[in-house]
Amino acid sequence: MTSSSDTSQVSAMLAKPRTPRVIGAQDYPLREQVRDELRARIADGRISPGDRMVEQALADEFGVSRIPVREALRMLETEGLVHNVPRRGVIVSELTRLDIEHLFDIREALEVLAFRLAAERATPRDVRRLEKLLERAKAAMAKDRHSDVTQINADFHDVVTDLAGNPFLHGMLEPLTGRLRVLIGRSHEYERQAAEHAGLVEALADRDPDRAAALALAHIRTSRAHALTQYDATHAQEGSA
């Protein structure tokens, strides 16, 4: 049975602005479409830590059965974005400061390697693929479509990982994707990210692995510092309240 407080919380969650994504419109499994939509909402803050994820409410909103929603929530739980609480159900997780440190340690180790390998292998066609993502991000920024910018920036890093050509590297990063996207989505440093991504694409175009690795390291460390500063500021405000 759903309590009145839980019902109010769910209603508030679903009342937040939605993206134009239509579940079922894409040509891949429904559970993954639902997962991607919920992950995007968690990443850009439309769904907040502590929010309760009710299968039936989400199924009604998306126009699907409860089965793909249940499967999507299990996938998000594997990524660490949600967790099951006895007698309450599925709750959106909150990253701790130590979680952020650990995630960036892994990101620093693996993504710097990904950019180095991508610079060794990238073809002009690959570079153009990344340039198109930069163009899409710029257009989305101009329209203040922050959710789209977050998704495109995440796609940028996914493409670089693919270009690295190492399936084991891809497999190691994949379980972290959701939590890393949350950190990327909440940074709101779109102009900085765009400029740094442009520099990384130039390094890949020049087939310069050392420069690509150095720029990637600086990019990730800047993101780490901002994420920790943002975390400290948010929790200082909560402590004052």
Cα angle for residues 89, 184, 182 (degrees, 5° grid): 5
Averaged pLDDT for residues 11-16: 41
pLDDT of residue 20: 44
**Radius of gyration, alpha carbons of the chain:** 19
pLDDT for 57-85, tens place per residue? 999 999 999 999 999 999 999 888 999 99
Cβ contact 227:192 at 8 Å: no
pLDDT band at 18 (very low <50, low <70, confident <90, very high): very low
Count of Cβ atoms closer than 10 Å to residue 7 Cβ: 13
| Cα 79 from Cα 39, distance rounded (Å) | 10
pLDDT for 141-195, tens place per residue? 999 888 788 889 989 999 999 999 999 998 898 878 778 777 776 667 889 999 9
pLDDT band at 15 (very low <50, low <70, confident <90, very high): very low
| Residue ranges per structural domain of the chain | 4-92, 97-240
For domain 97-240, the CATH architecture is Up-down Bundle (1.20)
pLDDT of residue 238: 64
| Cα 192 from Cα 15, distance rounded (Å) | 31
pLDDT of residue 6: 46
Residue 59's nearest CA partner among 44, 48, 70 is: 70
Q: Is the entire prediction scored with pTM above 0.85?
A: no
Instruction: Give all strands (DSSP E) within 80-147, no chain letters.
Output: 82-85, 89-92
pLDDT of residue 167: 93
| Cα 59 from Cα 18, distance rounded (Å) | 15
CATH 3.20.20.10 correct for 4-92: no
Q: In what order do the strands lie in the sheet with 82-85?
A: 52-53, 89-92, 82-85
Cβ contact 38:77 at 8 Å: no
pLDDT of residue 187: 66
Averaged pLDDT for residues 39-54: 86
